[in-house]
Every structure is written in C-alpha cells, then in structure tokens.
Amino acid sequence: MKNGDIIEKIKFPSPNPKIDLYSVTYFSSGLKVKGMLAEPKAEGEYEGFLYLRGGIKNVGQVRPGRLIQFASEGFVVFAPHYRGNQGGEGNEDFAGDDRNDALGAMELLKNHSKTAAGRVHVFGFSRGGVMALLTGILDKDTCSIVTWGGVSDMVLTYDEREDLRRMMKRVIGGTPSKYPDRYEWRTPLYHLDALLAPVLIIHGEKDGNVSFEHAARLDKRLKELGKHVETLYYKDYTHYFPPAENRRVVQKLTQWMKSR
C-alpha cells in the first residue's frame, strides 16, 4: 500500500446539494489517518485543493462548511485531520512527522479521478501555514501555496504563545534553547531555498493568535531568495475575518490559485 491510498471512504452528510462529502481513511507512512473529502458532483475535471487545518487535537478541527466553501469554487478538496485525531492511528506531532500526513494527502489528490492532470494547490490556516510551506518544500509538484494567518517560525510561536508552551515542550521534547535543531526542522524559513511553488500570504495585521511578524518574516525571506511571493494584508483584521470579507478573500485566493 502506498502513501495516499484510500483505505475507506464513507459518505458524510453535506449541507450543499452540489457537493459530496466523505469521511476518508488513508495510508500515511505506515499509519491509517483520517481526513475529509469534498467533491463537486458535476462531471468534469477539477484542480486539487489540500486544506491544512490549524490548531492541534480538538482545537481548530476541520469544518465541513469550510471545505464546501472551497469546493464550491471549483476544486476537489481534501483535509487531513492529522495522525492521532478522529480515530486515526499515531500521535500528532505539530509540524513534525505529521507532515507526512500532508504529503500523503497530496498523493491522494493527485490520483483522484476528478483531479485535472494531477494539479494540486496547498492552503494552510494558522498552524496549517507551517504545514503548507513544508509540503511545498518537500513536494515539488505543488502548484501554489496560500498561507492565511499562518505560522512561519516555530520559535516565534513558542515565544509569543505562553498558552502553547506546555504543549510544544511535550510534543517537541523541550524548549527552543534546549533543542534548537528540533524547532529549526519544524520552521520552514530555514528551508525555503528548496521551494519552487509561488506563495500568497494573507494576514490580518491585528492578529493576536499568529502575529503579523510571521507574515513579515516569511515575505522577507522569500524575497531574499528570489521566490515568487504575493501578499494580501488587512490592517483592521485579526485572526478571523468578518464573514463577508472572508467570502471575498476566498474568491481572491482561489482565482489566484487557478492562475498559477
């Protein structure tokens, strides 16, 4: 069995009559991992959209409505829950070995019967921003990357989020001062020279969950390396955008993806 192979696919209630939803179990580096798949019902080919959630464990879970929103823009959308969640095997690793779950999900989308010529884009929200960048660094077939309110520096997250320090020390094994290599391995800023895909950074400048500094550091480093990067910065918004603006930004980012 190969990474990304579907082991089980069970129909899930969909709030949109034009989109089918499924709970999926797939193979990821020896583990059975859970995820959610959204497929437009209409015949035809669609580009793939890998949705990488934020949070950890029960915080920041995959929401069916969000997947439907992106699928409605003309994508086959898949969102891994990451290992150890929703009944999946293994233990979530906060941008560590669970990056393999994103890479397996990429293979799932590339091989999906409705995915056009294997074209897959990657979207990461919050902690998913790190996952999206690592996926693009490791999978050279990535068509584009969008990071929205995304983490780019794990040490900065440790410094800024006192409420996450206990979890990070438990999952990563200690503090950044004790294990700098473990944090560096999880921080895409150090590995962007290997990135080929264009990047769109979306960030609210009043974000208190993932500071704007994450976007600024990512933007600066990509430009230093001569990579293709574009930005959508919103000076009045926090980590969460008002519903109407959220819909407008979704349309902007999906149009951007399709033009890559």
Residue 239 designated active-site: yes
Q: Which structure tokens are listed for 156?
A: 């900065």
Sheet holding 19-28, edge to edge: 6-12, 19-28, 31-40, 75-80, 46-52, 115-125, 145-148, 199-204, 229-234
Distance between CA atoms of residues 156 and 97, nearest Å: 20
Distance between CA atoms of residues 114 and 110, nearest Å: 9
User: Pairing state of beta strands 75-80 and 31-40?
Assistant: antiparallel
Residue 126 designated active-site: yes
3-state helix, strand, coil in the chain (%, to 5): 35, 25, 40
Distance between CA atoms of residues 249 and 50, nearest Å: 17
Of the candidates 209, 206, 200, the one whose C-alpha atom is nearest the C-alpha of residue 163 is 209
Please enumerate in sequence order all residues whose Cβ is within 8 A of that of 119, keeping only pairs 6 or more positions apart, or say none.
Answer: 47, 48, 143
Of the candidates 126, 144, 152, 211, the residue annotated as catalytic is 126
Neighbours of 163 (CB within 10 A): 7
Alpha helices per DSSP H over the chain? 64-71, 99-110, 127-138, 154-160, 165-172, 180-185, 212-224, 243-258
**Catalytically active residues, by annotation:** 126, 239
